[in-house]
Structure 1
Amino acid sequence: MNGTSFQSDIRYWLRQGNTVNHLLLWNIIIFLGIKTLEVIQTFSPGNTAFAWTFEQLALHSHPGTFLIKPWGLITYMFTHVGIFHIFFNMLNLYWFGNLFRSFLGNRRILPLYLLGGIAGGVLYLLCYNLFLGSTDAVMIGASASVMCILVACATLMPNYEIGLLFLGSIRLKWLALALIVLGLVSIPQGNLGGIISHMGGALLGFFYIRILQNGTDLCKPLIWLFDAETRAESKKRQARFKPKKSPLKVVKKPDDNNQLKLDQLLDKINEKGYHSLSAEEKAWLDKVSKEN
């Protein structure tokens, strides 16, 4: 494969409009950049570019350091150094990010990724400073964001089955529960900071779906911020708005029926799984997820 063909494949991959692909690419680009600096440092011990870059991108637990480098709360979730760390994070992001996208639309992927990472980072900061003293520990990795998306999928469709190597088919609710339990029991021997952030991401993913099912979308402000079409639609709705003569008159919006139907289908998926939907219901759900 020549360079031109590779670039064409990348451009085609990105033009599909799949935010999961963009997140994968940025994580990989940052990883390759950091590893390049690490290799340079190996052959040139006096070079501090790798150490400096790592310090800038990581999330620092010490309050004083965090206040100087607050952007670490965002950049840490795009930063990896270990090859297996990024491999498994990106593999899970690809699987569960696309699964989430197929049910709740592309526009929610980046907002939920960021909210999950922030939730994991905030819990990490709180635990270290409240219970573990003021040592300056650092954290990197997309694990909290990926865990958030995974648990969101499991909460939305708990009985949805996926196939795992050596284990066969397993329902999402049991997979999510197993990962949470394994994280908790491995605290004494494992990566404490990473496990704490996993729990923060998992909690955000669970409550995000529960709150969404009650009619409130926590991702809505970020969707408006990142999506130009959403902002344009909002402006059009404001331009078309005309106050009614009677302020007491209740007008039923067309979207109310769609929301009711969506809630009913999500309940059906929760109880019986996605495969219980009819072809017509699947088509309607697919159409709504693309519109959202």
Structure 2
Amino acid sequence: MSIIEDIKDTFRQPNNTLKQLILINVVVFVVLIVARLVLTLTVGPHLYNLLMSYIALPSYPASLLVRPWTLITYFFTHEGFLHILFNMLNLYWFGQLIREYLGDKRLLSLYILGGLAGGVLFVLFFNFIPYFADRALGASMIGASACVLAIVVAAATLLPNFTFSLILIGPVKIKYIALFLVILSMSGAVGDNAGGNIAHLGGALIGWVFIKQLQRGSDMGRPIHATFGFFGNLLKRKPKLKVTHRGGGGFSRRSTNGTSSAAAASYPGKPSQHEIDRILDKISSSGYESLSKEEKQKLFQASQKD
């Protein structure tokens, strides 16, 4: 099977958000490597720099106004190998936790909201904080670090006592890993990569707020879900319905595959928000392992049907 077919299969599979996010980042990274090589050897580096200016997030508001899409494209873009490597490893490790306990939709919401928050904070700091004023013009940012740190902090807020086994260190609770990454970003906020580290802090803040709001019964990702649902419905082809006569004298609508629309719409009732909040609180205080089999099943049902 070709690489193209492998990529298509990744996007055809349902509930596969984590792999899809990683794949998008990797594909963009590889395309930029090829583009940089080809353009530099043929017409010079200026054309590659022009290309990057259309996908990197500018700090200058006037540039952002004419290229608003960069508020999204920047967090799928990497140039350094170590940059994308560490981002994708952290996305995979911590994304697995969010995906397992909260579902694919909330993983996607955290990624996008973290990136947006990081980008907005980057622009605000470079235009309203005097220390960065002389750097604002011409500064730009790429990388998924803000998105990844949002997921890291969200996982640590939800499951603070969950442990990872780190090489040469051993088991470490993820709340300490998240704390270390946040402090590292704070220390770099006045360094050479000040803009990137400021964005990290924006992502971290969103990750913490997202889980706290979710535990209070409010899902910050609903606008993201609604947006993707809207465009997803536009792309889906609605099945043709046929009216068939029933033996009892009535009529029912049937899709072209012969399944009754009433039967297709029925599904088991999902857990109430109160039950989910209670389960999330229990995870935060005692860890996922403390849940009963029934509670784990309810959490899984909620993640699939939200």
Superposition TM-score, scaled by structure 1 size: 0.84
Q: Which residue does 1:16 correspond to in 2?
A: 13
Partner secondary structure for residue 143 of structure 2: coil
Q: Which residue does 2:23 correspond to in 1?
A: 25
Q: Which residue does 1:164 correspond to in 2?
A: 166
Question: Using the alignment, how far apart are the partners of 2:58 and 2:160 within structure 1?
Answer: 35
- The Cα of 1:5 is off from its aligned counterpart by 5.2
Q: Which moved more, 1:119-128 or 1:37-46?
A: 37-46
- The Cα of 1:9 is off from its aligned counterpart by 4.1
Partner secondary structure for residue 219 of structure 2: coil
Report the CA distance shift for 1:270/1:204 in structure 2 as closer, same or farther (over 3 A): same
Whether the 8 Å contact between 1:37 and 1:49 is mirrored in structure 2 is no
Question: Using the alignment, how far apart are the partners of 1:216 and 1:169 within structure 2?
Answer: 33
Task: State whether structure 2 residue 137 is matched by structure 1 residue 135.
Answer: yes
Report the CA distance shift for 1:47/1:188 in structure 2 as closer, same or farther (over 3 A): closer
- The Cα of 1:11 is off from its aligned counterpart by 4.0
- The Cα of 1:47 is off from its aligned counterpart by 5.6
Task: State whether structure 2 residue 286 is matched by structure 1 residue 289.
Answer: no
1:162-185 deviation line (CA, Å, top 9, x unaligned): 222222111121111111112212
Where do 5+ consecutive residues of structure 2 fail to align? 235-268
Report the CA distance shift for 1:35/1:106 in structure 2 as closer, same or farther (over 3 A): same
Larger CA Rg, structure 1 vs 2: 2
Count of matched residue positions in the alignment of Structure 1 and Structure 2: 267
Report the CA distance shift for 1:32/1:230 in structure 2 as closer, same or farther (over 3 A): closer
Where do 5+ consecutive residues of structure 1 fail to align? 233-253
Whether the 8 Å contact between 1:223 and 1:230 is mirrored in structure 2 is no
Q: Which moved more, 1:163-172 or 1:142-151?
A: 163-172
Q: Map of 1:60-209 to 2, 5 A cutoff? A: 60-131=58-129, 132-133=132-133, 134-209=136-211
1:209-231 deviation line (CA, Å, top 9, x unaligned): 11111111111121122136997
Q: Which moved more, 1:259-268 or 1:144-153?
A: 259-268
Normalized per residue, which structure has more helix? 1
Whether the 8 Å contact between 1:224 and 1:230 is mirrored in structure 2 is no
Q: Which amino acid aligns with 1:77?
A: F
- The Cα of 1:15 is off from its aligned counterpart by 3.5
RMSD value over aligned CA atoms?
Answer: 2.2
- The Cα of 1:145 is off from its aligned counterpart by 0.6
Report the CA distance shift for 1:228/1:61 in structure 2 as closer, same or farther (over 3 A): closer
Task: State whether structure 2 residue 260 is matched by structure 1 residue 260.
Answer: no
Higher relative contact order, structure no. (Cα contacts within 8 Å, ≥ 6 residues apart): 1
